[in-house]
Amino acid sequence: MELRGEKIVLRPMTLKGRYQFYRWATKSDAAPYWYGELYGDDVPSYVVFKHEFPDYYFDGSSIQKGRAFVIYKGDEKIGQINYNEIEERDHSVELDILIASQKYQNKGLGTDAIKTLLNYLFNKMAIRRCRIEVISKNPRAEKAFQKAGFAKIYTYIRKGIVWVVMECLSPTSKEVIKAETSTKKNNFHNL
């Protein structure tokens, strides 16, 4: 499987790629935005990381529980994007992303990767709502998600850290909400 964006291509990450993903998440230009000081927590060991990202993210054995993809720019592996466990109740899911090197950040590649995964989730996995939580000290991530179609829903504070919650609805969900809103308006006018 290959998911083509305008500037990047996403390919499913295999088990062999998990250690590189770990290195990116813990020892790259992207690492401070994944773990550590900003979040007031520890950088995980590989054993702990494997717990957070079990085999099914990499072998496709349980696509409802999560899947990781390598982001390619040409032949080069520049980062990863994943979705987590799909919430069956409302067909929603959360995403994570990193572009490992500064060399490839701020070039629209992250935005393109997010749009490409959204397209797949909405059209092939019947997802209706994608959600992310971004630390307020990461305005670049907020901007990239916004450019990919996410809107800020609310902010909250946990252990002194301000989190921005954003979501993106599938085109079908947006149509349903539009139709419901217009029916409600019409009913109101007919009272």
Ligand X SMILES: CC(C)(COP(=O)(O)OP(=O)(O)OC[C@H]1O[C@@H](n2cnc3c(N)ncnc32)[C@H](O)[C@@H]1OP(=O)(O)O)[C@@H](O)C(=O)NCCC(=O)NCCS
Residues at the contact surface with ligand X, assessed by CB under 6 A: 30, 33, 97-99, 105-111, 132, 134, 138-141, 143-144, 147
Nearer to ligand X, 162 or 175 (CB): 162
Nearer to ligand X, 11 or 190 (CB): 11
- Provide the CA 14 distance to its chain's centre, in angstroms: 18
Nearer to ligand X, 108 or 171 (CB): 108
- Provide the CA 177 distance to its chain's centre, in angstroms: 23
**CB 176, min distance to ligand X, A:** 28
- Bridge-based pairing of strands 92-99 and 129-135 is parallel
**CB 144, min distance to ligand X, A:** 4
**CB 178, min distance to ligand X, A:** 27
Nearer to ligand X, 107 or 184 (CB): 107
Q: Secondary structure of 4-71 in the HEC alphabet?
A: ECCCCEEEECCHHHHHHHHHHHHCCCCHHHCCCHHHCCCCCCHHHHHHHCCCHHHHCCCCCCCEEEEE
**CB 101, min distance to ligand X, A:** 9
Cβ-closest position to ligand X: 110
Nearest to 109 by CA among 80, 136, 129: 80
